[in-house]
A = this chain, B = another copy of it.
Amino acid sequence: MKNILPLAYFKDHIKIVDQTKLPLELKYVSCRNERDVSDAIKKMKIRGAPAIGIAGAFGLYLGIRNFKSTDKDRFIKRTVEVAEYLAESRPTAVNLSWALEELKKKVLHNYRRSIGELKDIAYKEAVHIMQDDQKRCRLMGAFGAKLIKNKDVCLTICNAGGMATSGYGTALGVFFKAKEDGRKFEVFACETRPLLQGARITSWELMQKKIKTTLICDSMAASLIKRGIIKKIFVGADRITLSGDFANKIGTYNLAVLAKFHNIPFYVVAPLSTFDKNLKSGKDIPIEFRNKDEITSLYFKKRIAPPGVRVVNPAFDVSDAKLVSAFVTEKGLIKPPYKINIRKIIHAQ
């Protein structure tokens, strides 16, 4: 099959797949400046921790591309401002601020070059961040695929696939590589309320790769694990602290508890850019709360709850390190004790 990338880049704009329309429509939207990119991230037309990092990097490039003056100090100020503006689009995933920081550093580091050259450097860095993610996803896939045996039945939540990254995926990349390696296994996808990324995007990606896929409601995982049907869980991550506590799509902590309670492995697949060196534990991770309409109206269309009902809609939850069997990164597996081993691998970078 043709591999559909979540983002295509050009010198004056990017085109992103509008993921809110998947899988029934494959519609692209163009972003020509930082506001377009921020809007696309906020509305989750592009989502997934690595993917919003990549989009953010291009957003920063597009935001400084049209800078007209020859005043270098103002150019630098503009670069910093656009980066700050974009970082606010979504607070939980660290990859967005990480990518913006990488690109900003590159510009500041080359301060002596001309504004034209700096714009070019920014563009190349954004392209590099995307291409680099492709390599990292392949590496994670290779390390993770070794954890999958024939006849395994795996479970995942949300979408940690091609659409969440530069095109291959973190947790789903593991499945893709295992499939490429000829392993016989199947995957259950949690639909992932409220925005149904599992139903809409993950099952679509898995089916494109001819992986046997079964869609379930999030509440069904417990019973399937209890009955011994599901053997292993693989999820992505939006931010991992130095202790190994990590944030991911709401519902992930639920699966982590179920894995521990039923004694099955629970793997977190994420590039090292997802580790936040500034955070010691899960308590420090900012959690984004989103609009109540996501819950009270089914996929923004049909209203399903009484008018005026109170809602809480945390987009993420935090799981404790002790529930994680291993982190799968582009440098290999990180196993407990996490407080020691995470620092070791991060400092070795």
Contact = CB atoms under 8 A, between A and B. Distances in A.
A244 to B, nearest CB: 16
Contacts of A260: 261
A20 B134 CA distance: 46
Contact of A257 (B217, B261, B308): B261
A110 interface: no
Interface stretch (A30-38, A142-150, A194-202): A194-202
Interface stretch (A90-98, A114-122, A166-174, A220-228): A220-228
B23 A223 contact: no
A212 B222 CA distance: 28
B303 A301 contact: no
Contacts of A308: 207
B304 A217 contact: no
B219 A192 contact: yes
Given A193-B219, A216-B295, A217-B194, A203 B250 contact: no
A299 B306 contact: no
Contacts of A296: 199, 215
Tell me the dominant secondary structure on chain A's binding face. mixed
Query: How many A residues touch the partner, as a band?
Result: 35 or more
A79 B216 CA distance: 40
A348 interface: no
A302 B304 CA distance: 13
A304 B19 CA distance: 12
Interface in A281-313: 295-296, 298-299, 301-306, 308-313
Nearest to A204: B306
Interface string A15-57: 0000000011000000000000000000000000000000000
